[in-house]
Amino acid sequence: MSDNKIINSYKPLTDHNPVMVQRFGADPYALVYKGRVYVYMTLDYPEMNDIGEIQENTYSKIDKISVISSDDLVNWTDHGTVYAAGEHGQASWGGNSWAPAAAWKTIDGKDKFFLYFANSGNGIAVLTADSPAGPFTDPIGKALISRETPTCAEVTWLFDPAVLMDDDGESYIYFGGGVPSEDKASDPGTARVAKLGKDMISIVGDPKPIENVSYLFEDSGINKIDGKYYYSYCSNFSMTPEAEKEKGFEQGEIITMVSDDPMGPFEMCNPVLKNPGHFFGLGGNNHHCMFEFGGEYYITYHTRILEEKMGILKGYRSTSVDKLVINKKNQPAASKATREGVKQLKSFDPYVENKAVTMSNAAGIATSQFGEEAVKYGSGDMIVTAIKTGSWIQISGVDFGDKPAAVIEVMVKRADGRRADKVKGKILVCLDSPESKALEEVEVSMDSVKGVGVEEGLLMISNRLDTQASGIHDLYFVFEGDGFEFYSWKFKK
């Protein structure tokens, strides 16, 4: 760019973890639908004191769930934050939205989506939608599972759901955790499994205790691999060195158990992911989800590496994705958490309209809801905001093909409260580095003669490239000026 210095990102240009840097996201859960992975996360939102200093994360303010998706596991589209609980949430009867789980099912010929989450440690809620990005609404107006549910009153932490959609059309929900007393640390007895109704918003029969879950702490997981059912969880922090040696796993580690039946009994299997402190030097609770995508297995989990880079260290978590090791017995096995993350699964197509909130990295920007529906429900269509000189977004592995791109089209919008005559800026189109010489400098002006007004106050600006682009590159949009928002982009040959 010109003499203006670019803003540094919170992760290197070559790292893919954490998958999102524009906000925090904890307790990730993956849903695969029509060639995309949707990840739902607890929205860790910084708690502030009276003088604006970030305080330790107490989790008490959390009432939203973040949603992102990807078809290559590197470039992620931001779908916003589901207004799940609290005064303005769909489940307004609940105070919190922790540790989401998601599933989809075809009911009466239509695909329906279900988002389960914990009302702190006191029950499980369910929301429904017609799209994996929402809008989500509350179909029952109360908890799906509460302390009044049989066998659940004694569950220390009635939270952390996971859902299995079995091959025979049946579905199951797994939940629970916590240590009722010190003498029960080795076998807390607080894990549960229940069969879900055909409607996915009810349970059939009483939840069943999952027995012999050694040193259970929290974080239910469930997968069916090669005909076997793998229940997974995070071990608690009461393990002694002697217990760790005996059991073959450590405190705060993700452990699997295996069964021939979705409701058990389960037997101990393998540890799969050590505590984040083992990999990154910053420990904390460990939370995971294992998923299959494109014939390979992956594990998503959270760490504190984003807050470390931000200089906060107050317990705010961010989501990462890495390969899950499957051993010769077709069992999940010990895997590694990395900053590099996974390799991009497919190249990115620049010749279709791409939302600007799809990115692999960014600096100095934010995202916000776009359109009435997203504003009302929190998730859905989004737009890049808070643009300033030196801010940028990155899209990895963009394949321009052998025949060069000749034209770039962008859709922009005047920022709320900004007068049209005060909107002046540029979008610099760069390859391979945000500091490289721009292919084109797209001038953004609300009175631009190149602009064509469209719905929702968007303006399309089309520019012929000074330097044509071909081959595979990382693409950067680098911003100068302010007063505008960035909605979408598309190249043409």
| Residues assigned a catalytic role | 27, 218
Tell me if 272 sits within 8 A of 299, measured CB to CB.
yes
Ramachandran angles phi, psi of 475, nearest 5°:
-110, 135
Q: Which two tokens stand for residue 198?
A: 């055909």
Rounded to an integer, what distance in angstroms lies between the CA atom of residue 383 and that of residue 363?
15
Per-residue DSSP letter, 305: H
List of E strands, 248-312: 254-259, 267-273, 288-293, 296-303
Residue that has been written with the tokens 């939205």 in this structure: 97
Q: Bridge partners of 273?
A: 254
Q: Which residues contact 315 (CB under 8 A, 6 or more apart)?
A: 56, 57, 284, 304, 307
- DSSP three-state, residue 83: strand
Cα angle value 121/261/272 (rounded, 5°):
60
- Count the helix, strand and coil residues of the chain and give each as a percent rounded to the nearest 5: 5, 45, 50
- DSSP three-state, residue 272: strand
Per-residue DSSP letter, 108: T
CB-hemisphere CA count at 13 Å for 450? 14
Is the bond into 188 cis (omega within 30 degrees of 0)?
A: no
Rounded to an integer, what distance in angstroms lies between the CA atom of residue 253 and that of residue 234?
5
